[in-house]
Amino acid sequence: MIVVSGVTKRFGGRPALDGVSLTVEAGTTHVLLGGSGSGKSTLLRLVLGLAQPDAGEVVVDGVRVTPGSRAEIQRRIGYVVQEGALYPHLTAAENVALPARARGWQAERTEARVTALARLVELERSWLDRHPAQLSGGQRQRVGLMRALALDPPVLLLDEPLGALDPITRAELQTQLVRIFRELGKTVVLVTHDVREAFVFGRTITLLEGGRVVQQGTFADLARRPATPLVTEFLRAQAPPPEMTAYL
């Protein structure tokens, strides 16, 4: 479980987050939805312990996130960003194995884990012998997910993981990620600016704007009972034009 209580974070005197509170129940997928500058990525950094709040607190699995607990917190969390943030001089397999090697795993155990994760994300094992530049965007993202899952952390954070992909690959990975999240049963927080993606992934959605929570709930809550006109405006801005609906 992740509990964020009254968190405020300022950069240069300007609030990136302003009194944000939310709870992510264990084993569920929670979507942080909002436009650029809404505070979504900042919130993930606070959960990871990469930044500290100016007010409020963040608790992960009963442990308060502080500078002193950062190492312990990060052992509990897998983190995925756009394009996987892979090291270009390492093969995909070497990228995936990095966390295990840092923990001192034996080579046989590491290889077994890499092979199992390749099956999980439906990536041919032979592709892992290639360097990131030789992989497609979707393949790199699968490798990034594998690395985040290498040590089987209970919590998974994904920051716009599919934002750089073409529509077809993005749709394929959305379906695959839904299956993986359901299969693994981890606590997942996924950041996106895409309303359709929020609908696909999130049992619970938190809509952020200007560092504040505008509304929290299911997609149906936001669509049918918008808390403010901004919620309706945000959802409508990403709806298909009326003339296209007949083709969908």
DSSP string, 13-34: TEEEEEEEEEEE-TT-EEEEE-
Q: Report the mean per-residue pLDDT for the chain.
A: 91
Helix axis angle, 137-149 to 107-120, nearest 10°: 130
Considering the domain architecture, whether residues 160 and 214 belong to the same structural domain is answered as yes
Contact 223, 202 (CB under 8 A): no
CATH number of 180's domain: 3.40.50.300
DSSP annotation of 241 reads P
Q: Is residue 62 part of a domain?
A: yes
pLDDT value at position 240?
Answer: 55
In a domain, 244, yes or no: no
194-239 tens-digit pLDDT: 888 998 898 899 999 999 999 999 988 998 999 999 899 888 887 6
- Percentage helix, strand, coil, to 5, in the chain? 45, 25, 30
Domain edge (last residue) among 96, 122, 152: 152
- Structural domains of the chain, count: 2
3 in a domain, yes or no?
no
Residue 17, domain member (yes or no): no
Q: Are residues 173 and 208 in the same domain?
A: yes
Same domain, 116 and 162: no
pLDDT value for 83: 67
* Residue 227 neighbours by CB under 8 Å, 6+ apart: 214, 215
Which of 102, 122, 152 is the last residue before a domain boundary?
Answer: 152
The percent of residues in the chain predicted with pLDDT above 70, rounded, is 95
> Please, are residues 216 and 22 in contact by the beta-carbon 8 Å criterion?
yes
Instruction: Report pTM.
Output: 0.91
Domain assignment of residue 130, given as a range: 86-152
Whether residues 178 and 66 share a domain: the answer is yes
